């Protein structure tokens, strides 16, 4: 009996420590346009810079204080890419996900609320899932999404930023 209680205490302690570790991490959420960016045509300087930032951020998730939050919405949208090679590469990036938010009633309700502010269906659900995952930031290369988010930042529970901008902030602080 004592051995069982000792095991339970050790298990509970390890779960508490893991939770503390996750709460101290800088969690970020990449929408699908960000995940696709490394595989876009790299001839434009902006595209190349954003692609390098996305890959550098993904590199930070390996054994550091940074973690990728993803969602069923990302998975669904990524699966819609008609290019099988890019779809496969995006899924490879998603293997580095620290936590995946399932689309439950709370996220659906929040998504509907956000759609009333003018966000598209996928964007609203990405925002809802990033909030649910307690991401510090939702990263996107979509200027319209960033501009709309800036307009409504007072009601959003997550910052919306360009990956190159946020990466620059991260490495200089």
- Return the CATH number of 26-172, one of 3.40.50.1700, 3.40.50.1010, 3.40.50.1580, 3.30.413.10: 3.40.50.1010
Query: Domain locations in the chain?
Result: 26-172
- The two most distant CA atoms of the chain are separated, in Å, by 66
The pLDDT, as a whole number, for residue 104 is 96
Rounded to an integer, what distance in angstroms lies between the CA atom of residue 159 and that of residue 165? 12
Phi, psi of 136 (to 5 degrees): -70, -35
Tokens of 29: 């959420």
The pLDDT, as a whole number, for residue 2 is 52
With 90 as the cut, is the pLDDT of residue 96 above it?
Answer: yes
With 70 as the cut, is the pLDDT of residue 19 above it?
Answer: no
Phi, psi of 142 (to 5 degrees): -85, 105
The pLDDT, as a whole number, for residue 21 is 42
The pLDDT, as a whole number, for residue 171 is 83
Record the pTM.
0.85
What letters, b where the CB count within 10 A reaches 16 and e where it falls short, cover 74-100? bbebbeebeeeebbebbeebbebbebe
User: What is the tens place of the pLDDT at every residue in 112-133?
Assistant: 999 999 999 999 999 999 999 9
Q: CB of 127 within 8 A of CB of 158?
A: yes
Rounded to an integer, what distance in angstroms lies between the CA atom of residue 21 and that of residue 66? 11
**Angstrom distances, CA of residue 68 to CA of 34, 122, 137, 143:** 12, 18, 10, 21
Closest-CA residue to 119 (of 149, 76, 142, 88): 149
- Weakest mean pLDDT among 59-68, 86-95, 97-106: 59-68
pLDDT tier at 55 (50, 70, 90 boundaries)?
very high
Rounded to an integer, what distance in angstroms lies between the CA atom of residue 23 and that of residue 90? 26
Rounded to an integer, the average pLDDT of 101-105 is: 96
The pLDDT, as a whole number, for residue 110 is 98
Rounded to an integer, the average pLDDT of 139-165 is: 97
């Amino acid at each position: 009996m004592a051995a069982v209680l000792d095991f339970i205490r050790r298990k509970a302690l390890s779960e508490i420590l893991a939770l503390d570790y996750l709460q101290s991490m800088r969690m970020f959420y990449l929408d699908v346009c960000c995940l696709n960016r490394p595989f876009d045509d790299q001839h434009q300087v902006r595209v190349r810079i954003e692609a390098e930032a996305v890959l550098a951020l993904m590199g930070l998730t390996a054994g550091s204080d940074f973690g990728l939050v993803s969602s069923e919405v990302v998975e669904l949208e990524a699966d819609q890419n008609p290019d099988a090679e890019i779809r496969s590469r995006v899924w490879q990036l998603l293997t580095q996900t620290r936590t995946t938010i399932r689309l439950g009633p709370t996220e659906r309700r929040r998504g509907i609320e956000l759609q009333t502010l003018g966000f598209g269906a996928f964007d609203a659900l990405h925002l809802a899932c990033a909030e649910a995952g307690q991401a510090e930031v939702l990263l996107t290369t979509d200027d319209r999404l960033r501009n709309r988010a800036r307009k409504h930042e007072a009601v959003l529970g997550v910052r919306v930023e360009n990956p190159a901008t946020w990466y620059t902030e991260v490495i200089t602080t």
